[in-house]
Amino acid sequence: MVLMTEVRGVFETNCYFYVDDDTHHGFLIDPGAQAAELLKIAEERGFTIEKILLTHGHFDHIGAVPELQARLNVEVCMQRNGRIYAENPVWNLSAYFGDDITLDGVTYLDDFSDITLRANENFGVKLIPLAGHTTDGAIYYSAKDSVAFVGDSIFLGSYGRVDFPGGDEKTLFDNLKAKVLTLPDDTILLSGHSAPTTVANEKSRPWFK
């Protein structure tokens, strides 16, 4: 199952629980703020979070990670180019909002890594690199459930900004066309800042054509 919850720091960001229905173990994706609220949801729902997955290293997607690491003692994963965002408040943008966020103890994953649960090795996602919004951008794709957690690379009717450190418009467009909009049309795209959409919907947009 997928459970979306909006967390509010400086901005509102969509955070996702992606949980195996059989074992109630799962992943927490992009916990940008409100660690206590996320922990409360997990407790009330009976979720066991095995890993925290980050689509990219901007502060509004990583802000709750240090507290969650301390409370849950779980692995935090991001694409292998994420170190500069995890360790540099200028690159992760937190420095501009008066809160220098840094992450320690991150596992930097190779491109196209398969990430599975200890409780059920048949439940998982594939990390697909998708630079452009940031250099460490990634999506987490489940073919089984026809869902992709796409961070800020693509939204309902639009696409991510490219004017932050590491952003590049051509790289983003090329990657979206090659790695997102080639997924099956019924794939649900779950972003950081919009309602869900699908590959078919976004392929019909003027910017894609």
pLDDT digits (tens, 9 = 90+) for 145-193: 999 999 999 999 999 999 999 999 999 999 999 999 999 999 999 999 9
How much is the pLDDT for 205?
Answer: 84
pTM summary value: 0.97
- What residue ranges do the domains of the chain occupy? 2-203
Query: Mean pLDDT of all residues in the chain?
Result: 96
- CATH classification for the domain delimited by 2-203, as one of 3.60.15.10, 2.60.120.260, 3.40.1030.10, 3.40.50.300: 3.60.15.10
Q: What percent of the chain has pLDDT over 90?
A: 94
| Greatest pairwise CA separation for the chain in angstroms | 46
pLDDT tens track for 76-108: 999 999 999 999 999 999 999 988 999 999 999
CA distance 146 to 16: 15
208: pLDDT strictly greater than 70: no
Tokens of 148: 């992709």
- What is the β-pairing status of strands 2-8 and 25-29? unpaired
Residue 202 buriedness (CB in 10 A; 0-12 / 13-18 / 19+): buried
